[in-house]
Structure 1
Amino acid sequence: MRYSAREMMALAAAREIKDGDIVFCGTGISMLAAMAAKHISAPNSVIFFETGAIDSQLEEVPMAVGDSRVMLGAAVHGSLADAFAFMQNRSTGTHVVGILGAAQIDPYGNLNSTVLGDYGLPGVRFSGSGGACDVGSFVGRTIIFMQQETRKFVPQLDYLTCPGWLDGPHGRARAGLCEGGPVLVITNMAVFRFDDASRRMYLAGCYPGITPEQVLERMGFAVETGRVRPVEPPTPRELDILRRQCDPQRLILQD
């Protein structure tokens, strides 16, 4: 079956979500991935949003975290403070999966969504962290969505918005951060993971029809490719659920 890169990305993230996980997600493809996981392989996962809805049913994909549809059937209709307290609670936080995106990522999964260029006189200024710094600091593991572009995969960030593994295996502990960190980076061409010893990113899989060389051409730093495996394409069942149950109006799957 034919499928788009966005569909492949959403399903790659959905496959990473385990039954019983608590998923903190934002607007767009991260929301779609969380919905797909709940329909396909993680029916007992719990989706929640920074706007305070916890365990939302999501019969229709919301356009944003402030969309009233995120409240449908929710177990809790809370506030931003409630959502972040839920995320940082030690009894639940280690089971939380945060789904993030950014303008830049470095080899250790640190993210920049604040500025490009000098902070005092930037070439581009973005909206900033939102809740990303809290998510990266407190949750059990994070999944990151990126476009495969050299300007986004950089050896050094212009600004550190959200911590990944900081400078390596003991960086988070030295900074006083909780256990956890990025586990998966998903792009429109490939997926990356992080080495257990060095905490440096490596190429884990390429989408069908894409080679490691093509991926490396669109990166600003080198990564290990010895463990790369083909990423399984979407199954007919996965695509059917994604298209008919999660986003039948193609609000997010526009391409």
Structure 2
Amino acid sequence: MTNTTATQSPQGSQAGKRDFTDAEILTVMSSRVLDDGKVVFAGVGIPLLAATLAQILRCPGLTILFEGGVVGPFVEPGKLPPSTNEQRCTKRANMVISSTEVLLLLQRGHVDIGFMGGAQIDKYGNLNSSFLGDDPRNPKVRLPGTGGGNDIASLTNMIVAMRHESRRFVEEVDFITSPGFLKGGTSRYDSGLRAGGMFRVITNLGVFGFDEKTRAMKVLALHDGVTLEEVQDNTGFDLLYDKNELGVTAAPTERELQALRELDPDRRYIA
């Protein structure tokens, strides 16, 4: 994967200042960290939009994989699938396989990148999409659950795209649906998860990675006009950062925004 903080944009003039939504900057910045020739396990919504945008603009050899078994789905502009089991995506796809075969691809190391969101993320990149509250038998909020999230996070390098709010960025998630670096340090490796791990977290405020030693979340770059104080105020734990290496992301270009808006003309995901 591109070891970038998205500080540089592809060729093309930049859009006017904040002439884009939070969802659009999430999508564009996520697309920039994807590489040609890789296989990405993408969910619907922003992950699929970002992967498709990368295919259109920079990465024609990027292969998208759906949990439902579609390899290389054809994403028709204006007809975005509502789920990863949507059969319209089989039209002109590279291949259609069973869900069991999808898991085998993961287990055999044929999938490079996992790409999804979550309701909560903690300082070590653990994701929660199961429930909110202390008691799983009586949760405050019941969430969609794991699906293939645990397998994806256990076996691939992960990109997470989500809005940056203190209620989402918490010291410790209520439940680990999809493992990040668990308790930090070598705890992921020691638990038996020898492959993958969290690579990048993309939010409407900036781009984040994880410290090589402690595995705690670290600010890599801020979006234009965003301050460290603003990011910290919207985070429920102390963030690491290096002022000497802190970057500023290049705003989405007009070309990126135009291509993205053509993919989602009804603004179902980028509003």
Shorter-chain TM-score range: over 0.9
* Other-structure match for 1:135: 152
**Unaligned stretches of 5+ in structure 1?**
none
Q: Structure 1 residue 178 and structure 2 residue 197: aligned?
A: no
* Other-structure match for 2:8: none
Please, what TM-score do these two structures have when normalized by structure 2?
0.87
Aligned residues: 249
Q: Structure 1 residue 75 and structure 2 residue 122: aligned?
A: no
Q: Hey, what's the Cα distance between the residues in 1 that align with 2:39 and 2:257?
A: 23
Instruction: State percent identity of aligned pairs.
Output: 36
Q: From 28, 37, 45, give the equivalent of 2:45.
A: 28
* Other-structure match for 2:122: 106
Q: Hey, what's the Cα distance between the residues in 1 that align with 2:144 and 2:24?
A: 26
Following superposition, the deviation at residue 169 of structure 1 comes to 3.0
Q: Structure 1 residue 221 and structure 2 residue 240: aligned?
A: no
Following superposition, the deviation at residue 11 of structure 1 comes to 0.9
Q: Structure 1 residue 231 and structure 2 residue 249: aligned?
A: yes
* Other-structure match for 1:63: 82
Following superposition, the deviation at residue 198 of structure 1 comes to 1.6
Q: Hey, what's the Cα distance between the residues in 2 that align with 1:127 and 1:59?
A: 26
Aligned pairs for 1:87-126 (under 5 A) are 87-90=106-109, 92-93=110-111, 96-117=112-133, 118-126=135-143
* Other-structure match for 2:105: 86
Q: Structure 1 residue 11 and structure 2 residue 34: aligned?
A: no
Aligned residue identity for 1:221: F
Q: Hey, what's the Cα distance between the residues in 1 that align with 2:148 and 2:220?
A: 28
Aligned residue identity for 2:20: Y
Q: Structure 1 residue 202 and structure 2 residue 246: aligned?
A: no
SS in 2 for 1:233: coil
SS in 1 for 2:93: coil
CA contact (8 A) 2:26 2:162 kept: no
Following superposition, the deviation at residue 55 of structure 1 comes to 1.4
**Unaligned stretches of 5+ in structure 2?**
1-14
* Other-structure match for 2:7: none
Following superposition, the deviation at residue 214 of structure 1 comes to 0.8
Following superposition, the deviation at residue 166 of structure 1 comes to 1.1
Residues 188-217 of structure 1: CA deviation (Å, up to 9, x unaligned): 222211112221101111112211111111
Please, what TM-score do these two structures have when normalized by structure 1?
0.93
Q: Hey, what's the Cα distance between the residues in 2 that align with 1:40 and 1:62?
A: 21
Residues 17-39 of structure 1: CA deviation (Å, up to 9, x unaligned): 10011011111111101100111
CA contact (8 A) 2:216 2:240 kept: no
Residues 87-125 of structure 1: CA deviation (Å, up to 9, x unaligned): 2223x13xx211111111111101111111122322112
Q: Hey, what's the Cα distance between the residues in 1 that align with 2:46 and 2:73?
A: 17
Whose RCO is larger (CA < 8 A, sep 6+)? 2
CA contact (8 A) 2:41 2:64 kept: yes
* Other-structure match for 1:243: 261
CA contact (8 A) 2:169 2:237 kept: yes
